[in-house]
Amino acid sequence: MEFRELGQTGIIVSRLCFGALTVGPLQAALPVDRGAAVIRRALESGVNFIDTAECYQTYPYIYEATRGWVGEVVVASKSYAYTWEGMRQSLEGALRALHRDYIDIFLLHEQESALTIRGHWEAVEYLIRARKEGLVRAIGISTHSVEGVRAAARIAEFDIIHPIINISGIGIQGGTREDMLAAIAEAASFGKGIYGMKALGGGHLIPRVEEALAFVLDIPYLASVAVGMRTLAEVDFNVTVFSGYPVPPGLRTKVRRQKRRLHIEDWCRGCGRCVERCGAGALFLAGGRVVVNPLNCRLCGYCGTVCPDFCIKVI
């Protein structure tokens, strides 16, 4: 496993970051012991970086996975808090739940422009104080937006940017894949530490998994890439790819045969674009949001390419 420094923070991370959303109650909803076992497998395989967020509800999984682990584990978390007090509560809650004295990286969650960052500046001021006090090592934002990356690049107080990037441009807001790549390069020129998300487009690129992972691994400005994993086989597969080794045919087959489903996030606003795009008749609107008929769903992923809010995932 290769390791890189995140910008100028002194934080050294594995190229593969364990994306903890997938194991938790918002997606796969694994029991804590099973989810922790998947995370532990990643740690044992050389991964030292875990990405989570307050809203993912995965702190118990991470604590269980890291309890008794003697190696260094870098944890990044995120919060939607926009006030000093709200961010203080978010950070202190993470410290308690993870049984840690500090969190390596704490980010404003889903900041999409300079305007939204300014609207959260009171929370940023708390994180600046927390960094001075040693409660966090680095701060910044996560974003799905090209404008968000460009805005954060110019904010001296930010150390880290966590942008969406994938080979098909799925989920990128405010521009194309090329626009996001240019914004990432620009942010790197400002010395920001950058680690990517959604390399598999929320699961829609799983049929092209090796090509999709090769694409993000070729982006020189990404210190690491967060990938959601929910089984031991997925961990083994991703560690193999990120370590530069050929995937054994048996492992490739095992991962491809995993049972998957289409997952609609709670923030679906029922715009209906995915219903129009679905050629299998698997999606329909009910109660103001999209519902999936799993008997008709082919898991083709076409619906995810037209969702403006990135709320459709294959898990």
Mean pLDDT by 10 residues, the chain (315 residues): 97 98 90 98 98 96 96 96 98 98 97 95 98 98 97 98 95 95 98 96 90 97 97 97 96 90 90 90 92 86 85 87
**Residue 101, pLDDT score:** 97
**How far is Cα 78 from Cα 226, in angstroms, rounded to an integer?**
14
**How far is Cα 227 from Cα 313, in angstroms, rounded to an integer?**
13
Handedness of CA 210, 72, 165, 312 (dihedral sign): positive
Q: Enumerate the CATH 3.20.20.100 domain ranges in the chain, comma separated.
A: 3-256
pTM, entire model: 0.91
**Residue 215, pLDDT score:** 98
Asked whether the beta carbons of 150 and 187 are under 8 A apart, the reply is yes
Tokens of 30: 């694994």
Query: Domain 262-314 - what CATH class?
Result: alpha beta
C-beta atoms surrounding 261 within 10 Å:
14
Q: Enumerate the CATH 3.30.70.20 domain ranges in the chain, comma separated.
A: 262-314
The CA-atom distances, in angstroms, between 216 and each of 224, 226, 314 are: 9, 10, 19
CATH dotted code for 3-256: 3.20.20.100
**Residue 1, pLDDT score:** 93
Asked whether the beta carbons of 272 and 291 are under 8 A apart, the reply is no
